[in-house]
Amino acid sequence: MHFVIMGAGALGILLAAHLSRAGHEVLLVARGARARALAENGLQVRGLADFRARCEITDDPTSPAHTDVFINTVKTHDSAAALASLTRLTPQVAFSVQNGVVKEAELIERFGAANVLGAMADFSGELEDDDAVLFTRNINLHLGELQGEPSVRGTDIAAAIHQAGINARAVTDIQSVIWSKFTGWVALFLMSVLTRRYTGQYLSDPDVALVVAQIVRETALLPRSLGIPLQDISPMPVLDITEASEADAVARVMAVGERMHANAPLHRLSALQDLLRGKRLELDQTVGYACREGARLGLEQPVLNTCHGIVAGINHGLG
């Protein structure tokens, strides 16, 4: 297949490196010094996999034209401008591995509903100072048609990515999968920034686990009000957390932390990586969206809103 990948952060490089190594044709759209460094030195992956690969690199977003698959990996606050800059691109299929639940709507606006798949990325990496990526988690990249029907294209793309070394699968309930991840991810985002600790560490802490459970319960009100069913999938068993007693919910969160600490002890959410680098956080289109929609629907979300307000204050001081 021919892939165009927008963004040379951790996930963009992981996808480009794996797909290129597997023999697919990949064009990676990057910016500035990183584009030049990757073109000169290639793509390097460490951690769960250790290899180098090369693909075509461009810093000109107007250069890509037709492609089989377009993947958006840029930060949510850069997404609108990034998509607008792809003035010639006409992909057969587009999907986004960004955080949040508005990413598909942005792609539909740019490329049309018929050309967009839903996606939920449950794999992780961390960009290091030499532009290598530390590959920390490889659970699953979920792909599916937004209307829920099975599709050959979703199955074929998932198979290509899976065979390249990033676990992937096609699903028929992608809306539920996206919202289930988002419901747990909101709490992870906020606590990563507020504790500045590795994911397994803060989730294993009973005081933090209580706040995480409260935020999950409050965030879950939003998909439920929209009629979207939740399910227990990695990284957080959100359905179990919302239906258990508070004590049991805290225990569920701590169990996730203990597994994370054992299996991915160096995992840090991208929000914490951005914070430590002094970069602006992906707050407005993710957690901010949940707060705004909750207010619009009249939902009671006091812990979510309080934590969002504190992190918003932190974000105001970042570049």
Q: Where are the domains of the chain?
A: 2-172, 176-316
Structure tokens at 109: 């606006």
Judge if the upstream peptide bond of residue 235 is cis by omega within 30 degrees of 0: yes
Q: Which residues pair with 141 in a beta bridge?
A: 121, 168
CA pair distance 179, 94, nearest whole angstrom = 19
Q: How far apart are CA 141 and CA 170, in angstroms?
A: 8
Q: Is the dihedral of CA 94, 95, 98, 102 positive or negative?
A: positive
Q: Does 176-316 match 2-172 at the fold level?
A: no
- pLDDT value for 319: 75
**Amino acid occupying residue 157:** I
Cβ atoms within 10 Å of 1's Cβ, excluding its own? 17
CATH topology of domain 2-172: Rossmann fold (3.40.50)
- Flag whether the pTM goes above 0.85: yes
| Long-range contacts, 245-253 (Cβ 8 Å, 24+) | 246/210, 246/213, 249/213, 249/216, 249/217, 250/206, 250/209, 250/210, 250/213, 252/213, 253/203, 253/209, 253/212, 253/213, 253/216
- Could you give the residue ranges of the DSSP H alpha helices within the chain? 10-21, 32-41, 79-85, 103-111, 152-164, 174-195, 199-203, 206-225, 238-243, 246-263, 270-276, 287-296, 302-316
Domain made up of 176-316: CATH architecture: Orthogonal Bundle (1.10)
In the prediction, which pLDDT does 112 show? 97
Q: Are 30 and 38 in contact (CB under 8 A)?
A: yes
What is the C-alpha separation between 271 and 286, in angstroms, rounded?
11
**Within a 13 Å sphere around the CA of 157, how many CA atoms are in the beta-carbon half?**
27
The position carrying tokens 């992780």 is 124
> 48: how many CB neighbours lie within 10 A of its CB?
17
CA angle 147, 149, 151 (to 5 degrees): 120
Task: Report which of 26, 184, 175 is spatially closest to residue 103, judged by C-alpha positions.
Answer: 175
Round to whole Å and give the CA distance between 272 and 197: 8
List pLDDT tens digits, range 268-285. 999 999 999 999 999 999
**Ranges of the chain with pLDDT below 50:** none
* Contact yes or no for 195/208 (Cβ under 8 A): yes
129, two tokens: 């100072």
CA-based nearest residue to 277, from 75, 93, 136, 113: 75
